[in-house]
Structure 1
Amino acid sequence: MAEIVISEFMDEAAVAELGASFDVLYDKTLGDRPEALAEAAAGCRALIVRNRTQVRGALLDGANLRVVGRLGVGLDNIDCAACRERGIAVIPATGANNVAVAEYVLAGLLMLLRGCYGASASVAAGEWPRERLVGREIAGKTLGLVGFGGIAREVAARARACGMRVIAHDPFLPADAPEWERYGVRAVGLDGLLAEADAVSLHVPLTPETRHLIDAARLGMMKPGAVFVNAARGGVADEEALAEALVSGRLAGALVDVFEKEPLKAASPLAQAPNCILTPHIAGVTQESNVRVSSLVARKVAEALRGDA
């Protein structure tokens, strides 16, 4: 019986590294097969997951886990309280995909403000819609970051290098914290941020306090013509309200990588919204970040198991 079960995709070199010291079951389909996962995990000491595997309830009850490795940073798919009660260590890959997400957000800002990302089909068909596709530069615009942790700081550095002004809201970071000055970012309240920013990007976890933090009322506070990026967690923004803001024309565009239910259903209001770019929870996953994340988690899981032996 395997000591380590890996239920979603992981860098093959990191899997091999674990396999050199432990009995490993690597089946990246297990995250979508909860019964098979529960059977596989019944005797294992470690479980390594991404965001689709639900580590809670019957899975925890039926396993003898000592550690859960998370190939990423969000923990809303893991019942952390239940893990603490059972003495199970939860190990996220903190910091290992910051650059990937920051580059994704910056790319989104460039695409949304320039507004020409959907022109290929019309140009290929012989059209020449130059006037319609005159967009905006990000230089001189104000970026509002909701949350100012590690990823948001990487976004701020890149946005300021492109000439943006950056403001942020983070009630957990004191006003005199050195990070504000270090990154050249001004701390503001959430409502003030929404009213001032030309672009808003979310960088908070999904918790009871942040669920639908960005609702219809707060979307209504945003500047007409502003753009919106959510590469944090589905559920932080109200998807129906966001779709309505796009349909009404109040927002000029949105880039959404994370959803309340994944995969996104074809009937979602966001699927029909104009100027809305949808991606499959991929912001933090690049070839490079996958290596960093997988290597970090493999090393820490191995250390935890050896320390538990």
Structure 2
Amino acid sequence: MAEPVPILLAGDHFVLNRLLADALLAGAVRAAWDARELELPWPHEPFRAIAEVDEASGSEDALIDALQGVRVCLTQMAPLTRRVLESCPDLKLFAVSRGGPVNANLEAATQHGVTVTYAPGRNAVSTAEHTLGLMLTAMRRVSDSHHGVLQGLWKSDLYAYDATGLQIHGNTVGLVGAGAVGSHLAAVLVAMGATVLVHDPFVDPATLPPGVVVTPLPELLARSQVVSLHARLTPETRGLIGAAELALMPGGSVLVNCARGGLLDYTALAAALREGHLFAAGLDVYDIEPLPAEHPIRDAPHVVLTPHLAGATKDVAQRAAAMVANEATRWLRGAEPAHCANPEVLENRPTTTDPH
């Protein structure tokens, strides 16, 4: 039998090294890997830009030391920078357990012959469920009522017609973006009795649940009692929902954002809430994170805030570990990666066979 392949498990306090190890051993014979470990500090320490990559954890020096002689690395947050690549010539596969490998320099990885993989859809169900929770909480002003009861209030006047909220059944919900999260949420909302509109220039209507209607954005905004954002943040979608778009929404409607903060003008949203044009909002992402003390949304009424936690479930961590472990197993067997972020590197890769 061939010698075990050196592999680094560079987990953190969410995608744990023990989850990576368990997932790895479920996909290959135990003797196939010589596993080493590096624990990164996220989320106990916020991720940050490291050299030329974003949203990374740990340090280049620690990763370089841990990668000596290593051919495969499984991680969520480790910084794959040009300096790391230049210092770790044995590395062949860098498997990132997140939907976008922003912590990896893909151009440099390709130049060094390193395949980078990622884990699309790992948190789609979790994010869709969190969105639904925020949506319901905002629509019924659950947070406001909760704090009132804690303060000793029993506000039966909230049964007054003008103070009551909305329900999903029988109302129209507009989803801006119909990827893995949006399409899953659409199916749930249809099952709950909502009319569901979708705006997504790239969606194939045939892939959507029956009854979901694809519409232009202005029409979606004008017709929806609830609007939920699920688009990717690109130069084209940055600032997609501003004051003009919020003004198109019906009076008394609700906005939810569990996608990316850059999609939304939060100053305009705060104004729409203060003026009473919008009934409420539910937010998990922001234009600035962590949310500054002076941020205008903090003082806006009827807003439910969570700190970018839509993907924070044990199920997501386990699925993320399983997805990168699968990439390692595929590499071991000489198979194509399931989700390659730099496919150009595969064009120059020699044909391989299972080293075991």
Q: What TM-score does the superposition give when structure 1 sets the normalisation length? A: 0.84
Contact 1:225 / 1:250 at 8 angstroms: preserved in 2?
A: yes
Is contact 1:112–1:227 with CA below 8 Å preserved after alignment?
A: yes
CA deviation vs aligned residue, 1:249-285 (integer Å, no higher than 9, x gap): 2222111112233222222222222112111211122
Q: Is 1:73 aligned with 2:99?
A: yes
Rounded Cα–Cα distance in structure 2 between residues aligned with 1:249 and 1:59? 52
1:41 — aligned with what?
63
Letter in 2 for 1:179: T
Shift of residue 122, structure 1, vs aligned partner: 2.2
Residue number in structure 2 paired with 1:228: 255
1:23 alignment partner in structure 2: 36
TM-score normalized with structure 2 length: 0.74
Asked if the contact 2:10/2:17 (under 8 Å) is kept, the reply is no
Residue 113 (structure 1) aligns with: 139
Q: Does 1:150 find its partner at 2:180?
A: yes
1:215 alignment counterpart: 242
Amino acid of the structure 2 residue aligned with 1:72: R
Superposition pairs of residues 265-276 of structure 1, within 5 angstroms: 265-276=292-303
Letter in 2 for 1:42: I
TM-superposed deviation, 1:72: 3.0
Distance (whole Å) between structure 1 residues aligned to residue 84 and residue 188 of structure 2: 41
Q: Distance in 2 between matches of 1:260 and 1:83?
A: 30
Pick aligned residue for 1:179 from 202, 207, 226: 207
SS at match of 2:278: coil
User: Given the superposition, is the C-alpha separation of residues 121 and 8 from structure 1 closer, same or farther in structure 2, using an over 3 Å criterion?
Assistant: closer
Aligned to 2:14: 9
Q: Contact conserved, 1:247 with 1:274, CA < 8 A, in 2?
A: yes
The count of aligned residue pairs is 304
Kindly provide the amino acid, as one letter, of the partner of residue 5 in structure 1.
A
Within 5 Å, which residues of 2 pair with 1:84-95? 84-95=110-121
Match of residue 199, structure 1, among 215, 219, 226? 226
In 1, distance between residues paired with 2:333 and 2:139?
Answer: 50
The structure-2 alpha-carbon separation of the partners of 1:68 and 1:138, relative to structure 1 and needing over 3 Å to count, comes to same
Q: For the pair shown, which has the larger CA radius of gyration, 1 or 2?
A: 2
Distance verdict in 2 for CA 1:66–1:233, change over 3 Å: farther
Q: What corresponds to 1:163 in structure 2?
A: 193
Output the CA distance in 2 between the equivalents of 1:240 and 1:56.
35
Aligned mate of 1:140, from 143, 152, 170: 170
Q: Which moved more, 1:91-100 or 1:138-147?
A: 91-100
Q: CA RMSD in A?
A: 3.0
Match of 2:308 in 1: 281
Equivalent of residue 287 in structure 2, options 250, 257, 260: 260
Counterpart residue number, 1:129: 155
Q: Provide structure 1 residue ranges, at least 5 long, that are not aligned to the other structure.
A: none
Deviation per CA, 1:76-96: give whole Å up to 9, x if none.
555545544554433332233
Residues 275/207 of structure 1: CA separation in 2 closer, same or farther (3 Å cut): same
Cα distance per residue 1:209-268 (max 9 Å; x no partner): 111111222222222221111111221112222222222222221111122332222222
